[in-house]
Structure 1
Amino acid sequence: MGGETVRLSSLSERLVAIGFERLAQGVPAVLSSSAFAGELAFGAPEGWQSVCEPSWEQLAARAGELLADGPLFLVPTWERRANPARRRATDPDSYYVEAMTSCRPPSPDAVMAVLLPAQAWTSDRPGLAEMRMKVAEHWDTLLVVYGFGTLTHLHASVESVVVFLRARAQTRPVLKVFRVPYRPDEAAVVKDFERLLAREGGRGEHGYVLREVPSPEQGLYFDRFDPHILRRREDLTGFGAVNALGDLFTFHRTAFSEAALRKGKQLTSPKDPGAVRIVRPRDIGRDGTIAPPSEETLWATIPADLQLAPGDLVIRRLHDPVTVSPHGFFTAEVTDEHLPAAASDNVVVLRPIKPLSRPQARLITMFLRTPLALSLAGPRPVTTVEALSALPVPQPDEALTKALDELTAAKQQFKRWEQEADSVIESVFLEKTAARARARVIDSGRALRLRVEAASLLDDLGHSVRTRFPYPIAYRWRETEARISSGDAQAAYAAILDTAEELLCYIAQLVLALTHARQITLGAVTAIRDKLAGGRSGPGFGDWANVLNEAATSRQLNNLPEAHPLNDIRTLLAHSDAEKARQALSERRNDQAHLRRVDPIDLPHAIDVAFADLTRLVERARFLADLPLLEVTDVRWDTFARSARVEYRELAGDHPVVPTRTMTPSNNDLETGSLYLRDTDGALHLLRPFLIGRDCPTCRTWSTFHADRVPQGAVVFKSLEHGHTWEDKSPGTRRLLSHVGLV
């Protein structure tokens, strides 16, 4: 390859030129070693002054001379030193390390960019960390640009870095970090790069700005300080606990390469007694499976203590850069069906220190297969066992564990149904006559078809609301759909607005009950109390919206337990689309109340728009399906068993007549006749006196009531379902409302 030169790719050359234009306001001289990589020399971009220094020992001195005349692009040799066995572990193994530590800025405005292998700036190795610290004594780092395929004649998997340095100043500049994507859209990359150079903070598509420059001891690989990655790392606690992978597993590596097995005469036939399958990297799939044995599978005689065990995780060792493998670690869990087996030398084995639950193992395996896990595991192309050991992994909390178990059970059920369907289909031509085959397919397939129809209904919002939402909302929704289908435009429009108000009212009552239980008083309660005391018209659409908006932004509610219902409720109006829908419906409600009614000609369009807004609100309130409304009908406490037998009705769906069920909670403070909200952990939250369930004195139907007015000597309650009222003159009711702050 003598006489050939290695050059910057066209995109890299353009980015370097832009960097010098913005940071040094000039075209740089290019200083390179006589041999850049092997026998290749570095070819400077056209039009740039090029200087080749034959002696690497003189590279730093020559750089100082050129810097005195203007900016410099330094391309030191990447060659390693000879006789590595004679060096100490802390000695630098590359010539560029000494060149970098010897370079000095000749003036306060000196600017130099250096082209290096990426590990020079990403590795935590002592020699390279020391190099960066010595560089930092004399230079500020302005810009770091990573990229694969930066140079011609070098393999596309070789990652390089261009580091822009300026003479050290008293005021430290911000640091800008950029990574050229694999197979980039060059125009888009250049545009994003120019935007990054103009930034003083924040993140673009391919780069970010660090206002607090990390210590040069730390390897500055792109993902390590990426704000997106750091936020996602912090967000892992949302799953439950977070542990280092090394706290949960021990790591094992073997020497079972094909060559070693042949040399040790351990290879054998799968038919031989004691034959053990060798799991190689190619056997571990991206989807978390281990491929079944094939003709290429290796079998060997392996001692029992070096074989895989059920519950082990196997991971392909990574040698490829993230651009080649953007899917996370290829990870699979070993089960009994894979055994007996052993891992090859390019497979890392993780063995649980203590037995893990199925949801734990499942969540860890799923996480390891994500790009986020790869980003948190340190610089590529090779991820070390040490980096894997320090990798933070999420642990599921009780609610997530339950959800994962339910999803696994659902997956297994779907699989059984699929097998059942396959069996029916395959039996078509197994019967003796076509008539019997036809009857079998129709009869056996009927249950399967009904299951599919029932499952498909769950994707229909209306069906979900009518069957799974709390009774007051499900009832209102059913009436709205009925009014719309009947063709009575005025009644349909009014029903939409009524349903929107009662939806907000119901959820606001939940907020009031739940915040009172935690001894938190919202400011919106003052306006509600004033309207209740007015005695004429009670709280309305705007008051309920104020409660929800305050709950969404209240700092007092920021540290609730994960499964607390308020965490879901607070998201309702936090979404801009839901808030816009709420505002539009509120304006329509006000117009309707103040006789600014929609013209009959415009009503069909108004109904379509209003119902779309209502649908948007209800979509955002799907969490209600997981927060059932219960009426406790009987409580029997067993003192010796320290448990209660509770009979209750789950008021889900659009009809109040539902079966009575039983449960056995460990507490004895439940009230017969009161309404409760059950959260995803199974805890019950008392809703009295904010919501009261009883038969309506007007229509004799069981209904849900909330306080609407508090005139002298009485409390007037209003039904969420149909607006009927009943008056309670007992002194205890008024005192109770006073106790919770509504009077």
Structure 2
Amino acid sequence: MSEESRALSPVFERLLAVGFAHLAPGAVTVLTARSEEGQSLFEPPVSWHAVEEPSWEGLAASATRLLGQGPLLLVPPWLRHAVSRSVRGRAGARFVYDDVLSACRPAGAGSAMAVLTPVELWVSDSPRAAELRRTLAEHWDTLAVLYGTGLIPQIHRSYMVAAVFLKAKQAHRPPMKVMRMPHTDDVASVEKDFEVLLQRGGGSTRYGYVVRELPPPGESLDFDRHHPDVVSQQADLAGFGSLTTLGTLYDAVPRINMTADAQWITTEEQPGAVRLLGGRDVLRDGSISLATDESYWVKAPPRYLLRPGDLILREIHGPHDPPGLIVAGVAEQNLPAAASHMTIALRPRAGTTSQQIRLVAQFLRTPLADRLVGRSGAHITVKRLLELPVPQPDDALATALDDLAAARQRLETWAKEAETLLGSAFTQKTASQARDRIIDQGRGLRQRVEAATLLDDLGHTVRTRFPLPVAYRWRETEARMSAGDQQAAYSAILETAEILLCYTALLALALAWEARIPLGSTAAIKEKLTGGRSGPGLGDWAAVLQEAAGNRQLRGLPHEHPIHGIRSLLASQDAADARWRLSKRRNDDAHLRRLDPIDLPPAIAEAFTDLTLLAERARFLADSPLWHVTETRWDSLTQTAQVHYRELTGDHPVVPTKTVLSSRNDLEPGSLYLRDASHEIHLLRPFLTGQVCRVCRAWSTFHADLVPKGSVQLKSLEHGHVLPQPPDTASALSAVGLL
């Protein structure tokens, strides 16, 4: 082999030189041991002094001696100690470098060296590797870790190597720099990146990062495990509800080692034989491949047998595989089967819910799960997998997952019905019968799809799924715009915007009062109510929503609380801008600064665009229906209440009465409630009330508008009619701080 063919890759050689220059300046000595074949792993740079020990047993003592002269690059042999194949297959064996490194000692306080080893030593969770890292930490601080592939000529290009810079242990551990070398010919950019990284006290560069809060000595130093981006994303997982480890939800299923358990391997024809699933049998689409002539079969003890609902993952993932773990669910048609040591099989524990199972299976396929498990090594360990943090759904997310699963099942049922109907086109006795069957039975399917497609239309969603006050106003807006009366259409758009903000602001006030969180914006509303001249308007409702968006106490309420949807309405800049433009138009219109008829068409288009944006941001209202409780019957024996209510969803107040059981005995007949996505209900009285309007005789929703001389007047959200109220209404408004 020529010297050129045994030379280190240019980028690796340069990074080693940069590392020594920053961390251990001086003339570098390369220390190796002669191999059985009489060759070394690589040819050291000509500017570095090379020392070769006749055998590995003398490396540790020689390293200590040479460290007294200056920095050292130690390249111990990567051979295993000789052991039986059965021991190697089950527990692995010690490497020669284990003994060399555990015996290495600094020559003095300034001793520094770099160690060149397989990546496994630094990233593996095996007890052997963790113990060696702890032993090294007793005498050395880890200053920098370089990972890369294709760096040493005699090692396969896919094999990952680690170069770790160590310095004699100090009283305070310095920050650690970690870098993964990219595959590029641009040596200068990589070298510059490493130089910048070595000079930084925190943060990250393009190819590396600084670890300021150092992990325990025995913990894995996998590149992704401590990357700031991964740490941040892991913390963000709690936004799903909470975090736990995979091991609290799943148990590992025993696997069959094809070397150590070779006596169990048999043929498919043998009685009791089950299929042995390997890594290649777990497909990227989340399924398990069909058996082929190359499949293995075993006679496995019962504890190895897989069950429906188990998860099975590929145990090996290459550095160039797409991000995300390759995992499949075990179904009845995949059985009987057992898992080989080239996979990891997991079984849900007894208390694991279906929602948790669905969320975990989806999370495991994400790039984040892949990075948390670790991509520096080729193998995924069971220990690391069971320690993987996984998100837990809260009540709202669990309900949403159930609803999605039900929706998917319904859609799959429709698809099967359509396939069956299409397949029957030529199975009838006559073409006429086939034609009539497809037309008649296909009509229902077509209508279901058409109804579902309408939900993509925001207008249809608002008219049919939004609460009555908003849906009613939206319908009137669409009707006015289609009728051609431009001034009426323009006014309807602005009034709908006001009612949308009014309704959501009243919800915010009611929910904040329920949580005993005061809002300063109620002061302006109180002043207008008692002023007796003009009630609260669009600006006041916007002020409530803007305060709710930034209120720290509201932000601290549980994730599933309905206030968070309301807080998001005006949180974005585009929504705030749209609200401001609509407020200005509404103010101009109310003060008779009317537009010229020529300017009305573009103004209508612009205003409706802004209204549409706000309605889009308010889609959460479709999941929070307005309830009018009409009657309650409490059963003291069962501690449940039978609640009769009307769900005021859509643009018409005439809706059927429904019944539900509740554990609450404080529900008020005649009052309005908000039911949130977790099926909890929240009292809206006296911020929002409902009754039959004395003016138009239609059932309507009302809010307090004026309190002249102590007499409360209510205004309808649907049509603006004003009604006087009895004196006790004022006491209710006083109780919640509006009077």
Structure 1 position 449, deviation (Å) = 1.7
Q: Which amino acid aligns with 1:158?
A: Y
Residue-by-residue CA offset, 1:492-539 (whole Å, 9 max, x unaligned): 333333222221211111111111112221122222222222222222
Paired residues of 2:7 and 2:153 also in contact (CA < 8 A)? yes
Paired residues of 1:714 and 1:734 also in contact (CA < 8 A)? yes
Percent identity over paired residues:
49
Aligned to 2:56: none
Map 1:500-539 to 2 at 5 A: 500-539=497-536
Residue-by-residue CA offset, 1:572-607 (whole Å, 9 max, x unaligned): 233343333333433444454556655655544443
Aligned to 1:307: 305
Paired residues of 2:707 and 2:713 also in contact (CA < 8 A)? yes
Consecutive unaligned residues in structure 1, runs of 5 or more = none
Secondary structure of the residue that 1:222 maps to in structure 2? coil
Q: 2:345 is matched with which residue: 333, 336, 349?
A: 349
* Whole-angstrom distance in 1 between the partners of 2:12 and 2:213: 27
Change (3 A) 1:264 1:4: farther
Q: Which amino acid aligns with 1:731?
A: P
Answer yes or no: is 1:250 the counterpart of 2:247. no
Paired residues of 2:144 and 2:164 also in contact (CA < 8 A)? yes
Aligned to 2:720: 723
Aligned to 1:94: 97
Change (3 A) 1:105 1:569: farther
Structure 1 position 181, deviation (Å) = 5.7
Q: 1:494 is matched with which residue: 473, 491, 495?
A: 491
* Whole-angstrom distance in 1 between the partners of 2:257 and 2:113: 48
Secondary structure of the residue that 2:571 maps to in structure 1? coil
Structure 1 position 686, deviation (Å) = 0.8
Q: Which amino acid aligns with 2:229?
A: H
* Whole-angstrom distance in 2 between the partners of 1:652 and 1:386: 51
TM-score by length of 2: 0.86
Answer yes or no: is 1:373 the counterpart of 2:369. yes
Aligned to 1:470: 467
Secondary structure of the residue that 1:408 maps to in structure 2? helix
* Whole-angstrom distance in 1 between the partners of 2:189 and 2:659: 62
Aligned to 1:392: 389
Map 1:209-288 to 2 at 5 A: 209-240=210-241, 242-255=243-256, 257=258, 260-261=261-262, 263-264=263-264, 266-269=266-269, 273-288=271-286
Aligned to 1:686: 683
Paired residues of 2:279 and 2:316 also in contact (CA < 8 A)? no
Change (3 A) 1:90 1:439: closer
Change (3 A) 1:482 1:166: farther
Residue-by-residue CA offset, 1:413-469 (whole Å, 9 max, x unaligned): 222221221122222233344444333332232222222211111112121111111
* Whole-angstrom distance in 1 between the partners of 2:462 and 2:711: 35
Change (3 A) 1:197 1:585: farther
Q: 1:586 is matched with which residue: 583, 588, 596?
A: 583
Paired residues of 2:27 and 2:70 also in contact (CA < 8 A)? no
Aligned to 1:552: 549
* Whole-angstrom distance in 1 between the partners of 2:487 and 2:112: 74
Aligned to 1:50: 48
* Whole-angstrom distance in 1 between the partners of 2:123 and 2:438: 63
Answer yes or no: is 1:339 the counterpart of 2:338. no
> Which segment drifts farther, 134-143 or 508-517?
134-143
Paired residues of 2:101 and 2:136 also in contact (CA < 8 A)? no
Structure 1 position 296, deviation (Å) = 3.2
Q: 1:707 is matched with which residue: 704, 711, 716?
A: 704
Secondary structure of the residue that 1:568 maps to in structure 2? helix
TM-score by length of 1: 0.85
Paired residues of 2:119 and 2:377 also in contact (CA < 8 A)? no
Q: Which amino acid aligns with 1:155?
A: H
Change (3 A) 1:41 1:209: closer
* Whole-angstrom distance in 2 between the partners of 1:528 and 1:537: 10
* Whole-angstrom distance in 2 between the partners of 1:89 and 1:255: 16
* Whole-angstrom distance in 2 between the partners of 1:563 and 1:442: 45
Change (3 A) 1:573 1:145: farther
> Which segment drifts farther, 453-462 or 557-566?
557-566
Consecutive unaligned residues in structure 2, runs of 5 or more = 54-58
* Whole-angstrom distance in 2 between the partners of 1:223 and 1:373: 10
* Whole-angstrom distance in 2 between the partners of 1:583 and 1:35: 78
- Aligned-residue CA RMSD (Å): 3.9
Aligned to 2:665: 668
Residue-by-residue CA offset, 1:521-574 (whole Å, 9 max, x unaligned): 112222222222222222233322232232233232344334321132222233
* Whole-angstrom distance in 1 between the partners of 2:596 and 2:203: 50
Secondary structure of the residue that 2:710 maps to in structure 1? coil
Map 1:599-678 to 2 at 5 A: 600-678=597-675
> Which segment drifts farther, 470-479 or 600-609?
600-609
* Whole-angstrom distance in 2 between the partners of 1:37 and 1:327: 41
Answer yes or no: is 1:76 the counterpart of 2:75. yes
Q: 1:431 is matched with which residue: 416, 421, 428?
A: 428
Change (3 A) 1:351 1:671: same
Residue-by-residue CA offset, 1:120-146 (whole Å, 9 max, x unaligned): 433456776676667768876554443
Aligned to 1:160: 161
Paired residues, number:
727
Structure 1 position 692, deviation (Å) = 0.9
Residue-by-residue CA offset, 1:468-497 (whole Å, 9 max, x unaligned): 111111122222333333444443333333
Map 1:537-576 to 2 at 5 A: 537-576=534-573
* Whole-angstrom distance in 1 between the partners of 2:605 and 2:100: 70
Paired residues of 2:313 and 2:327 also in contact (CA < 8 A)? yes
Change (3 A) 1:167 1:377: same
Change (3 A) 1:265 1:280: closer
Q: Which amino acid aligns with 2:664?
A: N
